[in-house]
């Protein structure tokens, strides 16, 4: 019963309600009892009204594309949207070296205890050595924590940037009250970068990267011009290799010029490395830009993911590290990272980290992994060449398709327009993202000629 004297949720109101219900039960008055049960149900439902009117969020474009593909009954359909490696039969691939390592981890399992807040110590140490190389890892103090793959590593970085004024007194003195920290990301970049930074309270700005005219090559002059105008104290995100979504990477000479330009700016550098070993087939080659920056004196931050190169997509294995000036700075930074992690997810999962540690820590397994990773990279290269050859030789396309083979990694930016992408989807049941990006891993010897036919037709008719 409600009362004008107070809320239904007041202690007195609830007490009277429950007493009346209990009395009805005791007296066997089923009608009144049912009424009370109904009233109690309505009251409970109303208590969750805070989210009862929430609107549906926009569908993720990649997941939506995949669902459209699944719903398509066409036997010739091809999916070129998802960023996960597939073998020559379009099946997920479990690396044998990773499987062997996992079997060892399970066989030696003695507990399911929590990891430390910062993660599995051996995994962190091996991740640092893997990315930076043994020389830097032994000579430079590098603060590191395990992260929830590359997404989690980027989120921790931006969360740290957002709270720098509170944890670094010099930053507090220079900070403008109410002003968000700034992060510059390439145009384009992985779509989630924008959301990760924004959700951490960071203002996202763009710097030129892909040439707006060709849509297939690097706008190096535009990029360098934008780097010259970076705001002091801001952050900049760079892709270590196999730029997502374009597959367009700077040359070594261009990387050197980028490092020199950023050396003149007071900015924090985050290098996102999701494809080490999987881009070129050589993990040392893929880490060249990162290591060059460090040798040039940059104290960079690094986000690592083991989803693509180890095939551990669902294990969410990653790391975040920072090159520091001293062991004291390293200890202080790690303490602040743990302060971020503890209320966010407390500590990371251990299984995938143990598997990666097992591979990197065993010379035989590490050598096997390198060969398997190279085989994945080589299949991607073969599919790039096959697509280009089919377009040029079979379809006699008059367009220049050299960018298909000059780009690197899992993704290729075809240069197709949105209308051309939609034409392929409607007429050929070939699915890729609206910006013309294709996942080369979705190509096989069986479908590459058909995809080339679809692309050629789209460029002719849409």
- DSSP codes, 88-132: TTS-----HHHHHHHHHHHHT----PPPPTT--HHHHHHHHHHHH
Helices (H) and strands (E) counted in the chain, each on its own, are: 20, 11
- The total of other beta-carbon atoms located within 10 Å of residue 109's CB is 11
Torsion over CA: 400, 402, 403, 404 (sign): positive
Distances (CA, A) of 22 to 2, 35, 318, 346: 18, 12, 55, 43
Distance CA(247)–CA(171), nearest Å, equals 36
Which residues are annotated as catalytic? Answer: 190, 272, 308
Structure confidence at residue 172 (pLDDT):
61
pLDDT tens digit string along 37-75?
555 545 455 555 778 888 998 888 887 899 999 999 999
Give the relative orientation of helices 351-361 and 96-107 as an angle to the nearest 10 degrees. Answer: 110
Q: Tokens 């930053």 map to which residue?
A: 171
- Residue of 156, 136, 200, 116 lying closest to 303 (CA atoms): 156
Query: Residue 30 half-sphere exposure, CB side, CA atoms within 13 Å?
Result: 0
Q: Measure the CA dihedral 305/310/312/318, to 10°.
A: -20
Residue 59 structure tokens? 């569908």
Structure confidence at residue 178 (pLDDT):
77
Q: Tokens 């993720």 map to which residue?
A: 60
Distance CA(330)–CA(324), nearest Å, equals 6
Residues contacting residue 388 through CB under 8 Å, at least 6 positions apart: 401, 402, 404, 405
Residue 323 structure tokens? 């090159």
Expressed in angstroms, the distance from the first to the final Cα of the chain is 67
Q: What angle do CA 70, 74, 78 make, to 5 degrees?
A: 65
Distance CA(237)–CA(112), nearest Å, equals 36
Q: State the pairing for strand pair 142-148/411-413.
A: unpaired
Torsion over CA: 320, 324, 327, 331 (sign): negative
- The total of other beta-carbon atoms located within 10 Å of residue 114's CB is 11
Residues of the chain with pLDDT under 70: 1-48, 171-175
CB distance 232 to 266 below 8 Å: yes
Structure confidence at residue 5 (pLDDT):
42
Q: In a 3-state reduction of DSSP, which class is residue 270?
A: strand
pLDDT tens digit string along 344-377?
999 999 999 999 999 999 999 999 999 999 999 9
Distances (CA, A) of 63 to 69, 356, 416: 10, 28, 21
Structure confidence at residue 228 (pLDDT):
97
């Amino acid at each position: 019963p409600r009362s004008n004297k107070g809320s239904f949720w007041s202690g007195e109101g609830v007490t009277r309600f429950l007493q009346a219900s209990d009395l009805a039960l005791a007296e066997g008055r089923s009608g009144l009892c049912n009424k009370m049960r109904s009233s109690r149900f309505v009251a409970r439902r109303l208590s969750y009204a805070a989210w009862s009117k929430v609107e549906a969020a926009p569908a993720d474009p990649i997941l939506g594309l995949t669902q459209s593909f699944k719903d398509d009954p066409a036997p010739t359909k091809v999916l070129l949207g998802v960023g996960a490696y597939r073998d020559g039969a379009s099946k997920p691939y479990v690396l044998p070296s990773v499987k062997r390592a996992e079997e060892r981890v399970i066989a030696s399992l003695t507990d399911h205890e929590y990891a430390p807040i910062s993660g599995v110590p051996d995994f962190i140490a091996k991740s640092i050595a893997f990315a930076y190389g043994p020389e830097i890892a032994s000579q430079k103090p590098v603060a590191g924590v395990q992260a929830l793959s590359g997404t989690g590593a980027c989120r921790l970085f931006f969360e740290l940037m957002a709270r720098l004024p509170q944890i670094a007194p010099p930053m507090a003195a220079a900070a403008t009250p109410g002003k968000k920290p700034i992060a510059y990301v390439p145009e384009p970049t992985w779509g989630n970068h924008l959301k990760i930074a924004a959700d951490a309270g960071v203002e996202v700005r763009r710097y030129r990267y892909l040439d707006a005219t060709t849509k297939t090559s690097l706008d190096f002059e535009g990029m360098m011009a934008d780097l010259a105008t970076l705001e002091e104290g801001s952050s900049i995100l760079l892709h270590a290799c196999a730029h997502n979504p374009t597959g367009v990477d700077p040359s070594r000479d261009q990387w050197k010029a980028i490092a020199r330009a950023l050396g003149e700016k007071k900015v924090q550098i985050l290098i996102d490395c999701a494809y080490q070993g999987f881009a070129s087939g050589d993990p040392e080659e893929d880490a060249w830009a990162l290591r060059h920056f460090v040798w040039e004196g940059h104290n960079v931050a690094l986000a690592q993911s083991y989803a693509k190169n180890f095939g551990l997509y669902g294990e969410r294995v990653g790391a975040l590290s920072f090159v520091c000036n001293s062991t004291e700075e390293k200890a202080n930074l790690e303490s602040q990272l743990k302060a971020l992690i503890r209320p966010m997810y407390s500590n990371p999962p251990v299984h995938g980290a143990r598997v990666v540690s097992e591979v990197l820590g065993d010379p035989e397994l590490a050598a096997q992994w390198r060969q398997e990773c190279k085989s994945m990279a080589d299949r991607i290269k073969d599919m790039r060449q096959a697509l280009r050859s089919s377009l040029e030789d079979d379809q006699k396309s008059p367009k220049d398709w050299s960018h298909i083979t000059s780009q690197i990694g899992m993704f290729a930016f075809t240069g197709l327009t949105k209308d051309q992408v939609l034409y392929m989807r409607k007429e050929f049941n070939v699915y890729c993202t609206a910006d013309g990006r294709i996942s080369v891993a979705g190509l096989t010897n069986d479908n590459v000629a058909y995809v080339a036919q679809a692309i050629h037709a789209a460029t002719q008719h849409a």
